[in-house]
Amino acid sequence: MGTYLERVIPHVFGKRVEKILQFEGGQSNPTYYFMDDKNNQFVLRKKPSGQLLPSAHAVEREYRVIKALAKTDVPVPPVYHLCTDHAVIGTPFYVMKYLQGRILTDIALPQCSPSERTAIYQELISVLARIHNVGLAGVGLADFGPAGNYYERQIGRWTKQYEGSKTKEIPEMDKLIKWLPNNIPTQKETTLVHGDFRLGNVMFHPTEPKIIAVLDWELSTLGHPYSDLSYLCLPYHTPAIATIPGFGNINLEKLGIPVESKIIELYCKLRSLPKISNWNYFIAFSLFRGAGIFQGIAKRAELGNASSANAKAIGAATALYAARGWEKAIQSDPFIQTQELFPFSPKFAPLRKKLLEFMDEHVYPNEETYAKQHNALPTRWAIPPIMEELKIKAKEAGLWNLWLPGVSGLTNLDYAPLCEIMGRSFIAPEIFNCSAPDTGNMEVLHRYGSPEQKEKYLKPLLEGKIRSAFCMTEPEVASSDASNIQTSIVRTDKGYLINGRKWWSSGAGDPRCSIFVLMGKTNPKAPAHLRQSMILVERDTPGVKILRTLSVFGYDDAPHGHSEIVFENVLVPLENMILGEGRGFEIAQGRLGPGRIHHCMRTIGTAERCLELMVRRIHQRRTFGKLIAEHGTIMQDVARSRMEIDQARLLVYRAAHAMDTMGNIVARDQIAMIKAVVPQMALKVIDRAIQAHGGAGVSSDFTLAYAYAGIRTLRLADGPDEVHERTVAQLEYQKQFSKL
């Protein structure tokens, strides 16, 4: 080798290799220290001998990237030469300068003071951010790996690697292999990634908390930058096993080691990122990849060519990493567990993914835009332009009218989690044409409308061109009992003549609302359940007068609104009658089944969002020496909220499934149950969130007060709790009596 080096790098190398030592650790590419006859010191990295998996141990790539980075602010060792000729030492290798510094292998940094530890971790993040900020084209690395699809490639690669080196069955690995590729977050940028960025792979200045070289670029490529960051953060999620680092239960604050959220915060600051969404996915992947790496080491240990004595013990960590990875996957998407309990259709999963992405990309970021535009409009009863823009986008994305099984091909069960996702944002349901009362009214027209009624009203409603209102409740009578409804509908030669007064007609304030579904009496003398009918009334019909908008705890709900409307000698064509005279109750049943369950699904989404807001807030403020999140009573509030949301959700899914499999009539006890349970549950959750926010919770700076007001009405709208509980009790009596 001496002769060879003398020939290829005469400017730095003398004549002979005087001393050669192998570095400890380095599981993959054996690394050596050597000195020449002039006391020049070098490091050599080579491929391991023996049979290798293809694409692994590419020292040629390492050499290329280190050389390219010499021109950047990323600290790297000077590299001198790459030898691809197997004849020299049996495998390809490269030579770089030996640097004197500190390799700090123990992540707890026992030799350092707390302030040094903080500085060291901050430097680590700063260098990682610099790696990810490298302009690829400028340093000739634009083709260092394929652009995009990083996680697809990585999951494929590590799956193959894992399966190629499998020594035993690990069920969690199989689950991750199935779940990870179907849930990859959209990749927004491609950067250089190191692939093994950790404390032990950088060299610090001998005395200062400053990195002088990033080492071991074997796994570097172009890819998703969060893969490096999440890998670096793995010790926050694992205990120490053999030589694999893990913080376990170490008190990081006391040691001066930044907690994971601080690491992410600093990284985002250095890279001008607003935040990192779905962090748990990235951690799940990193644990999966870690398991894949360990499995490779275990296999090599079996074959006898691993370069570490610890290889066997490290191999045993595979199962633990896989288990933690699966746990993180569940935390990334707790829905995984529910999904295993219910038979969702094959259409469901891809739609859910698409909807989640749409929410992230278009809905949440535009909530503020919507509010700002609304406030800037000359009247509160006009539509912020962003709404129609987002509707077009939702249509294009195929996320339109998902609520209607006949149109979307989804089951009620499929729709439940999708509707929940929409319920997380006050603007979302309308964006997807899935909002009340339109869905209920469309349901009526879809099920019971004549072909002409469908053409004239259902079509534009389904296209999102017009909106509608449902006019049943009346100020003069207790409308919980629909048989009390007094509005008269009289058949004449010219059409039906309508007289009456309605209130709480939601959506009637919307300038696009052009059609009302009205309930009234056609035959006061018929048996109670045959007296009422439903008829279509165009808003502009003479005699229709919108008197005022009712407020909900002071909110006007503009531009939607809940109106009080007088119908004075309103004449509508005979063909506007739906299904036939006296069929109003029958239609109401058909309308309210799906409509009620949709309210419940959305309400679960609202509760989830409020719990999220609560958890975020209590981790930002401190009282009496600790985070609010650390006080026992607050923890109990969070725990109860989680338990109650999950209970209610299961009940909703069960009801949705019952509707799909047994029909709305048989499922009516379950629909009644959820209609009473869900709003009550959500109110408790929101109330706790308000409490944890302190004064801010009841202000308009947060959405909690508005959410509370909105959900409180659901204990009344579509029937008060007591009416649904009455149904549950009556059905319970029937069940019990049938046993006697």
Ligand X SMILES: Cc1cc2nc3c(=O)[nH]c(=O)nc-3n(C[C@H](O)[C@H](O)[C@H](O)COP(=O)(O)OP(=O)(O)OC[C@H]3O[C@@H](n4cnc5c(N)ncnc54)[C@H](O)[C@@H]3O)c2cc1C
Q: How far is the CB of 238 from ligand X (least distance, A)?
A: 49
- Count residues contacting ligand X (CB under 6 A)? 22
- When binding is defined by CB under 6 A, the residue of 562, 649, 657, 688 that contacts ligand X is 562
Q: Does 709 bind ligand X (CB under 6 A)?
A: no
Q: How far is the CB of 507 from ligand X (least distance, A)?
A: 7
Site string for ligand X, 538-557 (x = CB under 6 A): --------------x-----
**Interacting span for ligand X (CB under 6 A) from 195-203, 235-243, 472-480, 605-613:** 472-480
Pick the closest to residue 246 from 287, 285, 284 (CA basis): 287
Q: Which two tokens stand for residue 228?
A: 């490096």
Residues in the chain: 740
Which of 295, 727 has the CB closer to ligand X? 727
Beta carbons of 719 and 595 less than 8 angstroms apart: no
* Distance, CA of 182 to CA of 678 (rounded, Å): 30
Q: How far is the CB of 730 from ligand X (least distance, A)?
A: 10
Which of 561, 605 has the CB closer to ligand X? 561
Whether cis (ω within 30° of 0) applies to the bond prior to 437 is yes
Q: Does 723 bind ligand X (CB under 6 A)?
A: yes
Q: How far is the CB of 469 from ligand X (least distance, A)?
A: 6
* Distance, CA of 603 to CA of 597 (rounded, Å): 10
**Interacting span for ligand X (CB under 6 A) from 118-126, 257-265, 298-306, 499-507:** 499-507
Q: Does 708 bind ligand X (CB under 6 A)?
A: no
Which of 237, 675 has the CB closer to ligand X? 675
Which of 133, 484 has the CB closer to ligand X? 484
**Interacting span for ligand X (CB under 6 A) from 3-11, 397-405, 444-452, 712-720:** 712-720
Which of 297, 518 has the CB closer to ligand X? 518
CA dihedral 479, 483, 486, 490 (to 10 degrees): 140
* Distance, CA of 478 to CA of 485 (rounded, Å): 8
Which of 137, 478 has the CB closer to ligand X? 478
Q: How far is the CB of 726 from ligand X (least distance, A)?
A: 5
Q: Does 312 bind ligand X (CB under 6 A)?
A: no
Q: Does 286 bind ligand X (CB under 6 A)?
A: no
Which of 245, 593 has the CB closer to ligand X? 593
Pick the closest to residue 324 from 299, 279, 291 (CA basis): 291
* Distance, CA of 613 to CA of 611 (rounded, Å): 5
CA 585 to chain centre: 40
Rg (CA), the chain: 33
Q: How far is the CB of 367 from ligand X (least distance, A)?
A: 21
Q: 730 Cβ partners below 8 Å, 6+ apart?
A: none
Q: Which amino acid would we find at residue 22? A: Q
Q: 128 Cβ partners below 8 Å, 6+ apart?
A: 194, 197, 228, 229, 232, 267
Which of 67, 562 has the CB closer to ligand X? 562
Q: Does 486 bind ligand X (CB under 6 A)?
A: no
Q: How far is the CB of 719 from ligand X (least distance, A)?
A: 5
Please, what is the end-to-end C-alpha distance for the chain in angstroms?
A: 96
* Distance, CA of 3 to CA of 1 (rounded, Å): 5
- When binding is defined by CB under 6 A, the residue of 154, 506, 641, 670 that contacts ligand X is 506
- When binding is defined by CB under 6 A, the residue of 473, 532, 576, 727 that contacts ligand X is 473
Q: Does 722 bind ligand X (CB under 6 A)?
A: yes
Which of 155, 513 has the CB closer to ligand X? 513
Cα dist from 293 to 178, 300, 317, 610, whole Å: 18, 11, 10, 39
Q: Which two tokens stand for residue 248?
A: 């376990």
Which of 550, 698 has the CB closer to ligand X? 550
Q: Does 719 bind ligand X (CB under 6 A)?
A: yes
Site string for ligand X, 660-699 (x = CB under 6 A): ----------------------------------------
CA dihedral 498, 499, 502, 507 (to 10 degrees): 40
Q: How far is the CB of 509 from ligand X (least distance, A)?
A: 11
**Interacting span for ligand X (CB under 6 A) from 247-255, 425-433, 471-479, 572-580:** 471-479
Which of 478, 740 has the CB closer to ligand X? 478
Query: What SS3 string covers 549-599?
Result: EECECCECCCCCCEEEEEEEEEEECHHHECCCCCCHHHHHHHHHHHHHHHH
Which of 205, 726 has the CB closer to ligand X? 726
Q: How far is the CB of 715 from ligand X (least distance, A)?
A: 8
- When binding is defined by CB under 6 A, the residue of 472, 570, 671, 673 that contacts ligand X is 472
Q: How far is the CB of 276 from ligand X (least distance, A)?
A: 38
Query: Could you say which residues in the range 415-454 bind ligand X, by CB under 6 A?
Result: 437
Which of 21, 478 has the CB closer to ligand X? 478
Q: How far is the CB of 479 from ligand X (least distance, A)?
A: 4
- When binding is defined by CB under 6 A, the residue of 348, 470, 496, 585 that contacts ligand X is 470
* Distance, CA of 363 to CA of 385 (rounded, Å): 14
Q: Which residues pair with 501 in a beta bridge?
A: 566
Site string for ligand X, 223-242 (x = CB under 6 A): --------------------
**Interacting span for ligand X (CB under 6 A) from 120-128, 286-294, 369-377, 478-486:** 478-486
CB atoms within 10 A of CB 378: 6
- When binding is defined by CB under 6 A, the residue of 504, 516, 567, 653 that contacts ligand X is 504
- When binding is defined by CB under 6 A, the residue of 96, 287, 648, 717 that contacts ligand X is 717
Beta carbons of 82 and 9 less than 8 angstroms apart: no
Q: Does 467 bind ligand X (CB under 6 A)?
A: no
Pick the closest to residue 139 from 77, 82, 73, 83 (CA basis): 73
Q: For residues 60-83, b (16+ Cβ closer than 10 Å) or e, as one string?
A: ebbbbbbbbbeebebbbbebbbbb
Beta carbons of 132 and 73 less than 8 angstroms apart: no
Q: Does 478 bind ligand X (CB under 6 A)?
A: yes
**Interacting span for ligand X (CB under 6 A) from 116-124, 502-510, 590-598, 640-648:** 502-510
- Name the DSSP letter for residue 530: G
Q: Which residues pair with 574 in a beta bridge?
A: none
Pick the closest to residue 507 from 445, 454, 442 (CA basis): 442
**Interacting span for ligand X (CB under 6 A) from 498-506, 509-517, 529-537, 590-598:** 498-506
CA 123 to chain centre: 31
Q: Does 505 bind ligand X (CB under 6 A)?
A: yes
Residue appearing with tokens 């469908």 = 454
Q: Does 631 bind ligand X (CB under 6 A)?
A: no
* Distance, CA of 245 to CA of 248 (rounded, Å): 9
Computed from CA positions of residues 323, 324, 329, 331, in that sequence, does the dihedral angle turn out positive or negative?
Answer: positive
Q: How far is the CB of 473 from ligand X (least distance, A)?
A: 3
Instruction: Decide: helix, strand or coil at residue 41.
Output: strand
Q: Does 726 bind ligand X (CB under 6 A)?
A: yes
Q: How far is the CB of 470 from ligand X (least distance, A)?
A: 4
Pick the closest to residue 727 from 659, 674, 689 (CA basis): 674
- When binding is defined by CB under 6 A, the residue of 113, 186, 277, 480 that contacts ligand X is 480
- Give the DSSP H or E segment for 623: strand 622-623
Which of 186, 480 has the CB closer to ligand X? 480
- Give the DSSP H or E segment for 299: helix 279-303
**Interacting span for ligand X (CB under 6 A) from 99-107, 424-432, 572-580, 722-730:** 722-730
Q: Which residues form the interface with ligand X (CB under 6 A)?
A: 437, 470-473, 478-480, 504-506, 552, 562, 713, 716-720, 722-723, 726
